[in-house]
């Protein structure tokens, strides 16, 4: 049995999106020909304005919706339905109110031996700072604590891919920073491939190896920016400040017609380029 304490790079997976498009029954063209490869163990941030199709893209990868065209694959295996190797954290915690905290975290481990399940749950709760809250009810926790539970639940089964749909957007700045630390701590242990949807540029700079800026109507990939700074990251460091400026500039360009955009010539501070 591979416990959460064992660093494991083999547990992550290469995620490939090939010509992925989505048009809804009402004619809304949500996504158009998305081509993207996410390396095993990479943290990639999807960022862009409302209507870019970021959440639609995550739902397709999670197998909760069906693409109109294209293919999603995990280490070459096509994803056409919810996959046991893909975990998802929503914007809201979505905890089961009739289960206590520990049982919420272990909900997806019903097929595991009881002792293994208990060990995994205990370790996951410890890593998010909730060791003493296992027998409390979700309603007794703060919003930040509930989101910690949802993160622990996502990691406890050692997913190969973890999808996060703006999981920290409703939290205050101090709680958000604390959850970033817990998220990165869990990621360091099992190194899943991570896609996080965010509107927060600082969050992308804090967490991601790359930021992919999308443009709307229909949603398309516009620019990819490398974020090569070492972790943990100081948001006031020259590299982080340069990354923030570059992402903000890319977001501004994403809202302009391509033919009117200025040519990008600035190299990315800290290594790499646009």
Q: What is the mean pLDDT of residues 235-252?
A: 92
For residue 124, which of 160, 78, 156, 167 has the smallest C-alpha distance? 156
For residue 163, which of 196, 124, 123, 191 has the smallest C-alpha distance? 196
Indicate whether 197 pLDDT > 60: yes
pTM comes to 0.85
Pairing outcome for strands 43-47 and 193-198: parallel
List phi, psi (to 5°) of 196.
Answer: -120, 125
**What's the CA dihedral at 19, 20, 23, 29 to 10 degrees?**
-70
Q: What is the mean pLDDT of residues 74-85?
A: 87
CA-to-CA distance for 55 and 12, rounded, in angstroms? Answer: 22
Domains of the chain, each with CATH number or no CATH: 15-260 (3.40.50.300)
pLDDT at 261: 60
Pairing outcome for strands 86-89 and 220-226: unpaired
pLDDT at 167: 84
pLDDT band at 262 (very low <50, low <70, confident <90, very high): low
Farthest CA pair distance, the chain: 61
């Amino acid at each position: 049995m591979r416990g959460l304490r064992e660093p494991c790079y083999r547990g992550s997976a290469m995620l490939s999106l090939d010509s992925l498009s989505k048009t809804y029954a009402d004619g809304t063209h949500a996504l158009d020909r998305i081509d993207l490869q996410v390396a095993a163990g990479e943290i990639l941030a999807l960022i862009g304005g409302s209507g870019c199709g970021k959440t639609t893209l995550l739902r397709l990868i999670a197998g909760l919706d069906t693409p109109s065209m294209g293919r999603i694959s995990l280490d070459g295996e096509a994803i056409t339905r919810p996959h046991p190797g893909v975990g998802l954290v929503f914007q809201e915690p979505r905890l089961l109110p009739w289960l206590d905290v520990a049982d919420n975290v272990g909900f997806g481990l019903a097929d595991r031996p009881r002792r293994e399940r208990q060990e995994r749950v205990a370790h996951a709760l410890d890593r998010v700072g909730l060791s003493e809250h296992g027998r409390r009810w979700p309603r007794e926790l703060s919003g930040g604590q509930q989101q910690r539970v949802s993160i622990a639940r996502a990691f406890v089964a050692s997913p190969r891919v973890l999808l996060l749909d703006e999981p920290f957007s409703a939290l205050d700045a101090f709680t958000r920073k604390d959850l970033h630390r817990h998220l990165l701590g869990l990621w360091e242990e099992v190194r899943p491939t991570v896609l996080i949807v965010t509107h927060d540029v600082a969050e992308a700079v804090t967490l991601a190896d790359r930021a992919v800026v999308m443009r709307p109507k229909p949603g398309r990939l516009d620019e990819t920016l490398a974020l090569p700074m070492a972790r943990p990251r100081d948001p006031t460091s020259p590299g982080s400040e340069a990354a923030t400026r570059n992402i903000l500039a890319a977001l501004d360009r994403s809202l302009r017609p391509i033919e009117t955009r200025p040519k990008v010539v600035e190299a990315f501070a800290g290594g790499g380029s646009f």
